[in-house]
C-alpha cells in the first residue's frame, strides 16, 4: 500500500487545492519555485471562491479549479489542477492563456488605449499544471516549456512594461504526479510540490512554507462548514470512482463474454464448414471413381463411348479427355 503523508488529506481535490492557493504566501513560493521568478507578493484575481453548482444532487460543493494569480510586477499565472486524463488538456491550458491575454487587451481598449499601442501594455501570462496522470512519454515528472530558438535553444525574451528584466513571451510548466520517484535527480524545489500534492512523504526536511501548506490541507483545522463540504465532496468522488471501477469491470466482462461467444461461433462455423467441405470432397472422390470405372469398361469394349459419355452426363468430346 502506498504510504501517505496525511491519511485524511486529498491535496489534488479541487476544494482542497483551492484552499491551499488561497494562501498567498504559499502561492507565492509555489510560483517562485516552479517559474524561477523573483516573486515578492501575490494576489488572487480568480479562483478563491467556492461555488455550488445548479445540479446539487451530483456535486454539491464545487470550486473553480483554475487559479489566476497576479504577481507584484503584473505577471499573471494560471494554475490548473487536473485529476482525470483529458485528451485535449494541453490545448485547453493554452486556450486559457490566450483568453487571458485577450481579456487583458480588452481591458486596455476600454481604458482608451489606442490599438497601435496595445502591444506596449501587454503583460506576460504563464501557466502551471499539476496533473495526476502523465501527458508526456518519458520518465520526467517535470516539463517546462518556453519559446526558444530551434538551433541554439536561446530563449525569446522581450521587454514588458513595468518589469526590469526581459521575460519569455510564454511559459508552461507541468508537474505529473504519477511519474514521481523518490530517487529523482530533478530540482527538489520543484519536486517537493509533487510530493505535497501527491500526498507523499517528503524526502527532504520540509521548510517552514511546506509545513504551512501542510497545515492548510489538514481537515482537523477546518471550520465545520469546510469539513462538511470536504466530507460530502469526498463521498461524491468515492462514489464516482467506484462507479468508474464498476463500469470498467462490466466492460471487461462484456469483452470476455464477447470473445468467448465469438470463439464458440467460430468453432461452430468451422465445424459446419468442415462438414460441408468433407461432403463435397467425398462427392468429388466418388465422381472420380465412377469416371475411372466407366473409362475401364469402354477401354475393355464392354461399353461404347457414346453410352459411357451419357452415363457421366458428358459430351463425347468431353469424355474423350478421360480415355
Q: Write out pLDDT tens, residues 204-230.
A: 999 999 999 998 888 777 767 666 666
**Confidence at 64, pLDDT banded by 50, 70, 90:** very low
What is the spatial distance between Cα 141 and Cα 190, in angstroms, rounded to a whole number?
10
Asked if pLDDT for residue 52 goes beyond 50, the answer is no
Q: Please count the other Cβ atoms lying within 10 Å of the Cβ belonging to residue 14.
A: 21
Quick one: which H or E segment has residue 106?
A: helix 89-110
Record the cell numbers describing residue 4, joined without a space: 501517505
The C-alpha angle with vertex 29 and arms to 26 and 32, in degrees rounded to 5, equals: 150
pLDDT score, position 77: 96
Number of residues in the chain: 323
Helix (H, G, I), strand (E, B) or coil at 167: strand
Cα–Cα distance between 42 and 60 in angstroms, integer? 30
pLDDT at 197 over 60: yes
Whether the pLDDT of residue 314 is over 90: the answer is no
If one compares 116 and 22, the residue with the highest pLDDT of the two is 22
Q: For the segment 89-119, what is each residue's pLDDT rounded down to a tens digit? A: 999 999 999 999 999 888 888 888 777 788 8
Q: How far apart are CA 303 and CA 153, in angstroms?
A: 97
CA distance to 51, 274, 277, per residue, from 280 (Å): 75, 10, 5
Domain coordinates in residue numbering, the chain: 14-221
**Average of pLDDT values for 41-54?**
68
Stated pTM of the model: 0.67
Amino acid at each position: 500500500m502506498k504510504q501517505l503523508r496525511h491519511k485524511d488529506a486529498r491535496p489534488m481535490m479541487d476544494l482542497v487545492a483551492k484552499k491551499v492557493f488561497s494562501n498567498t504566501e504559499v502561492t507565492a513560493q509555489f510560483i517562485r519555485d516552479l517559474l524561477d521568478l523573483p516573486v515578492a507578493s501575490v494576489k488572487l484575481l480568480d479562483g478563491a471562491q467556492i461555488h455550488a453548482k445548479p445540479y446539487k444532487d451530483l456535486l454539491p460543493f464545487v470550486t473553480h479549479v483554475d487559479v489566476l494569480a497576479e504577481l507584484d510586477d503584473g505577471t499573471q499565472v494560471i494554475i490548473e489542477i487536473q485529476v482525470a486524463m483529458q485528451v485535449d488538456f494541453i490545448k485547453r491550458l493554452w486556450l486559457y492563456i490566450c483568453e487571458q491575454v485577450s481579456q487583458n487587451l480588452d481591458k486596455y481598449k476600454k481604458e482608451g488605449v489606442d490599438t497601435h499601442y496595445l502591444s506596449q501594455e501587454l503583460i506576460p501570462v504563464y501557466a502551471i499544471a499539476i496533473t495526476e496522470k502523465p501527458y508526456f512519454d518519458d520518465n520526467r515528472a517535470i516539463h517546462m516549456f518556453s519559446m526558444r530558438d530551434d538551433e541554439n535553444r536561446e530563449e525569446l525574451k522581450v521587454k514588458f512594461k513595468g518589469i526590469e528584466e526581459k521575460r519569455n513571451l510564454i511559459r508552461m510548466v507541468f508537474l505529473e504526479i504519477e511519474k514521481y520517484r523518490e530517487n529523482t535527480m530533478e530540482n527538489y524545489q520543484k519536486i517537493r510540490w509533487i510530493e505535497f500534492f501527491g500526498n507523499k512523504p517528503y524526502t527532504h526536511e520540509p521548510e517552514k512554507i511546506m509545513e504551512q501548506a501542510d497545515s492548510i490541507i489538514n481537515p482537523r483545522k477546518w471550520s465545520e462548514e469546510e469539513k462538511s463540504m470536504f466530507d460530502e465532496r469526498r463521498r461524491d468522488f468515492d462514489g464516482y470512482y467506484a462507479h468508474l471501477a464498476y463500469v470498467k469491470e462490466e466492460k471487461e466482462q462484456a469483452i470476455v463474454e464477447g470473445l468467448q461467444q465469438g470463439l464458440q461461433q467460430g468453432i461452430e462455423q468451422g465445424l459446419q464448414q468442415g462438414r460441408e467441405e468433407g461432403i463435397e470432397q467425398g462427392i468429388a472422390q466418388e465422381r472420380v471413381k465412377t469416371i475411372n470405372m466407366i473409362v475401364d469398361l469402354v477401354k475393355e469394349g464392354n461399353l461404347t463411348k457414346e453410352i459411357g459419355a451419357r452415363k457421366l452426363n458428358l459430351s463425347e468430346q468431353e469424355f474423350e479427355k478421360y480415355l
